[in-house]
Amino acid sequence: MTQSQDFRTRFAPSPTGYLHLGHARSAYEAFSAADREQGTCFLRIEDIDQTRCRPEFEAAIFEDLAWLGFSWPQPVRRQSDHFDSYEKALKRLDDMGLVYRCFLTRRELEAELEARGIETSPAGERPYPGPRAAMSADELQSRIGKGEAFAWRLSLDRARDYLGDAFHTLMFVEEGYLEYRKTTEEKAHPDWLGDVVLARKDSPTSYHLAVCHDDNLQQISHVIRGADLYHATHIHVLIQALMGWPTPVYTHHELVLDDQQNKLSKSRGSETLRKLREDGVRPETLIARWAG
């Protein structure tokens, strides 16, 4: 069977714990779509958070996915091997005047959002709308000189000026979120997320920057991931427009929930794929829940 060069997707787990059923579902959706479309599904290791990622979790990802019956092209991209690329992307945004250093601590940020009466957006968070006034060059230099911690934030105000009318017509094609496997064109609302963090003083990239960078680099035509990442797309579309990167087609599939209707999570101690495997569960049995 010839492979389609056009359909390229990816499964992009973070090795911060063992994979659970939610990951299996995402992997299934991505790998089976690539099969159906005769395309390619890449595996990408999103390990930018070096304090939480561990090599044994990465090794377990390969093992668990192989157990599920999936295979992927080599070499596998591991984000921690490419911090310099993300730094370059950030530098480009800085050169374009679109990012700024934000020195607010978590507590100061909360107080600021409170004081300004910022309400929770449809993304489920209170978006930071940016500083009321730009910091003076003197204060900036002094705080940098003192070695204070800061986050690099994307300025929505400057992005709006930079893109002009195009800012207001940002959109993406969604093939899953509102109604599963139904195609809709959605207007992007970056303001739901506000001035997001793209990097920090001591960490060269955030999820938002690295994921957009890599989806572009790997020429991902279709992003297939859980509905919990749907709102992030609204900022990804903006980053893509600013960087001149194409916007893939998105599918945000429904999440696997536990008996209490909670999203599965590593921190909640959701049952891992290795535990299911040890208990004798067959991969076909897991996948049969979602197939068809």
Q: Which residues lie near ligand GLU (CB under 6 A)?
A: 12-14, 46, 211, 225, 229
The Cα-based distances of 135 to 94, 102, 103 in angstroms read: 16, 9, 10
Q: Considering only CA atoms, give the Rg of the chain.
A: 20
Residue 97: CB minimum distance to ligand GLU, A: 27
Close Cβ partners of 197 (under 8 Å, ≥ 6 residues apart): 102, 151, 152, 153, 206, 208
Close Cβ partners of 165 (under 8 Å, ≥ 6 residues apart): none
Half-sphere exposure of 201 (CA within 13 A, CB side): 13
Nearest residue (CB) to ligand GLU, 30 versus 242: 30
Nearest residue (CB) to ligand GLU, 150 versus 248: 248
Close Cβ partners of 228 (under 8 Å, ≥ 6 residues apart): 255, 263
The residue type found at 143 is R
Residue 9: CB minimum distance to ligand GLU, A: 10
Close Cβ partners of 251 (under 8 Å, ≥ 6 residues apart): 29, 33, 174, 175, 176, 177, 181, 222, 223, 224, 225
Nearest residue (CB) to ligand GLU, 100 versus 250: 250
Residue 46: CB minimum distance to ligand GLU, A: 4
Residue 147: CB minimum distance to ligand GLU, A: 30
Nearest residue (CB) to ligand GLU, 159 versus 210: 210
Taking a C-beta distance cutoff of 8 angstroms, is the pair 68, 43 a contact? no
Residue 146: CB minimum distance to ligand GLU, A: 34
Distance CA 243, CA 95 (A): 12
Nearest residue (CB) to ligand GLU, 33 versus 113: 33
Nearest residue (CB) to ligand GLU, 14 versus 155: 14
Q: At what angle do helices 83-95 and 230-243 cross, to 10 degrees?
A: 70
The residue type found at 154 is L
Residue 236: CB minimum distance to ligand GLU, A: 8
- CA 216 to chain CA centroid, Å, is 13
Residue 229: CB minimum distance to ligand GLU, A: 5
Q: What are phi and psi of 29, to 5 degrees?
A: -60, -45
Nearest residue (CB) to ligand GLU, 211 versus 256: 211
Residue 127: CB minimum distance to ligand GLU, A: 20
Nearest residue (CB) to ligand GLU, 102 versus 154: 154
